[in-house]
């Protein structure tokens, strides 16, 4: 009887000790709440955007390469007739007049796609013997050696070619252009586009001046077109 009472007291003591120890290990908050602390995962702030990385291991097909010499098979200095021969019978050609102020153009099409436009002065004729000196493409199939072309986001082009400077001049129809700090090709021109309902891809100060420049641009801004012009006297 005494032994049974002694063992019962030992059991109660052990239970009490275990409960006390459990209470000591329970995390508490500043207000005394003993609820378990939730596990959290560190995430980036919603206002932070991932850093664009420069395209790596770009392997552009030579027939789709944008370079100072041309766009794909159209080479600056070649004649219109030579281009026709190079593209073959599957290509079609359509005159667009006017194309932009001061320029008419020939749209070069293949497989129901417009590859590029050959530009020439408004009011002149462009024959098979005429030399190609000005080409513009809006096709995303054509890319520079670092994978930049129509449809590339400005922030991704920055990762490839350095800081972007966007500009427009009210004296030239307010046509907007973008240059990149590390891209040194003087006669290759990138025109940007904001994909939302914005008048410009760049974010400019107000009121506008005749020449407007900025390093800021809308998040969704992309390259709309790439234009290559022959340096003076180089394609005569």
Structural domain boundaries enclosing 159: 62-229
Q: Tell me, yes or no, whether 185 lies in a domain.
A: yes
> What proportion of the chain, given as a percentage, has pLDDT over 70?
75
**This prediction's pTM:** 0.75
Q: Tell me, yes or no, whether 110 lies in a domain.
A: yes
pLDDT tens-place string over residues 149-166: 999 999 999 999 999 999
Q: Find how far residue 105's CA is from the centre of its chain.
A: 26
Strand partners, 74: 71
Instruction: Encode 14-43: b = buried (16+ Cβ within 10 Å), e = exposed.
Output: eeeeeeeeeeeeeeeeeeeeeeeeeeeeee
pLDDT tens-place string over residues 169-185: 999 899 999 999 999 99
How much is the mean pLDDT over the chain? Answer: 81
Q: Tell me, yes or no, whether 47 lies in a domain.
A: no
Q: Tell me, yes or no, whether 31 lies in a domain.
A: no
Q: Left (φ > 0), alpha (ψ -120 to 50) or beta: where does 152 sit?
A: beta
- The answer to whether residue 52 scores a pLDDT higher than 90 is no
pLDDT tens-place string over residues 203-221: 999 999 999 999 999 999 9
Cα 191 to Cα 228: distance, rounded to the nearest angstrom: 11
Closest residue by Cα to residue 204 from 233, 169, 167:
167
Give the CATH number of the domain where residue 137 resides. 2.60.460.10
Place of tokens 């990138």: 190
Confidence class for position 57, pLDDT limits 50, 70, 90:
low
Give the number of domains in the chain.
1
44 contact partners, CB below 8 Å, separation of at least 6: 50
Q: Tell me, yes or no, whether 39 lies in a domain.
A: no
């Amino acid at each position: 009887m005494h032994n049974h009472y002694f063992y019962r007291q030992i059991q109660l003591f052990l239970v009490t000790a275990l409960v006390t120890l459990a209470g000591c290990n329970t995390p508490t908050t500043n207000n005394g709440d003993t609820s378990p602390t939730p596990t959290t995962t560190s995430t980036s702030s919603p206002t932070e955007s991932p850093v664009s990385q420069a395209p790596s291991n770009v392997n552009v097909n030579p027939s789709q390469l944008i370079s100072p010499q041309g766009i794909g098979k159209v080479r600056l200095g070649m004649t219109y007739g030579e281009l026709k021969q190079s593209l073959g019978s599957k290509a079609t050609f359509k005159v667009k007049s006017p194309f932009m102020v001061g320029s008419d153009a020939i749209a070069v099409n293949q497989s129901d796609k417009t590859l590029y436009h050959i530009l020439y002065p408004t009011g002149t004729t462009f024959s098979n013997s005429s030399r190609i000196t000005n080409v513009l493409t809006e096709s995303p199939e054509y890319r520079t050696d670092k994978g930049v072309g129509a449809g590339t986001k400005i922030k991704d082009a920055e990762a490839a070619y350095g800081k972007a400077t966007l500009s427009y001049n009210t004296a030239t129809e307010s046509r907007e252009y973008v240059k990149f700090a590390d891209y040194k090709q003087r006669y290759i021109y990138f025109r940007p586009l904001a994909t939302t309902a914005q008048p410009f891809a760049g974010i400019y100060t107000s009121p506008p001046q005749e020449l407007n420049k900025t390093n800021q641009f809308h998040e969704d801004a992309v390259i709309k077109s790439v234009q290559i012009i022959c340096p003076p006297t180089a394609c005569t």
